[in-house]
Amino acid sequence: STDQMLDTPTSNFATLNPNDSTGVAGNFTVLEGNLGFTVDNNSFYRNVSSTFFPEGLKGYYEYRVNVGTPNFFIGMYPDNLAPSSSSYTVSTTIYLRNSGALSSGTTTLKSGMTPAFSTGDVGMVAFDFTGSNRYIWFGRNGTWGVDQSGNQQDPSTGTNPAFTFTSEQQLYFASNSGSGTQTIVVNFGQDSTFAGATTAGGNADV
């Protein structure tokens, strides 16, 4: 069942954190056991972080646009930044847009890092914050994007990251639906069906 989580006392998975968010009420709702969010008739970027910080960790997660026309930011922002509808404008916030562009605050660092997203597409994020590493990689539908120099990203070998950070970060998810509705569901390892929207993958958390 997609409603049955895999967490145990010794193997926990991240979820979204409604206590570290902005606009969770009315037109922005965290749902699916804190693994998804819906934005409805919203003209501001509402955002939410995750319950796990990447510090000291190496990991991977993915997200799917289950409903609506994609209009989102997915990435990281400084762990001391209070969430607001304008968090994405801060120059130290790094995110991939639904257009496939990598941005820092309001500045585009790389257009076409991945192809643009459509409903049903799955975004991929890998990160390595172990030791002195501070790397993040972005992909879409099973293919990693290019880095800022146009080289193929490869988190399996730790090469060509999309961005290298110099400070502690937290995972960042933001969405603006305009006059429609958008639902994004995240898989941190506990549900590769994205709340029953697609067939489960065969991969296992390690």
Please tell me the predicted confidence (pLDDT) of residue 41.
Answer: 84
Task: For 12-70, write each residue's pLDDT tens digit.
Answer: 889 999 888 886 556 888 999 999 999 988 878 888 999 999 999 999 999 999 999 99
Residue 177: per-residue pLDDT: 84
Q: Are 163 and 136 in contact (CB under 8 A)?
A: yes
Give the pLDDT band (50/70/90) at residue 192.
confident
The β-bridge relationship of strands 107-110 and 102-104 is: antiparallel
Structure-block tokens of residue 110 = 């790389």
For residue 25, the model assigns a pLDDT of: 55
Query: Is the pLDDT assigned to residue 5 strictly greater than 60?
Result: no
DSSP-derived secondary structure letter, 27: T
Chain mean pLDDT for the chain: 89
Tokens 């972005």 locate to 138
Q: Is the pLDDT of residue 118 over 60?
A: yes
pLDDT tens across 87-113, in order? Answer: 888 888 999 999 999 999 999 999 999
Conformation bin of residue 141: beta by default, left when phi > 0, alpha when psi is -120 to 50: left
Only one residue has tokens 């459509």, namely 118
Q: Which residues in 10-121 belong to E strands, given as ranges?
A: 16-22, 28-31, 36-40, 46-50, 58-67, 72-78, 94-97, 102-104, 107-110
Residue of 87 and 170 predicted with greater confidence: 170
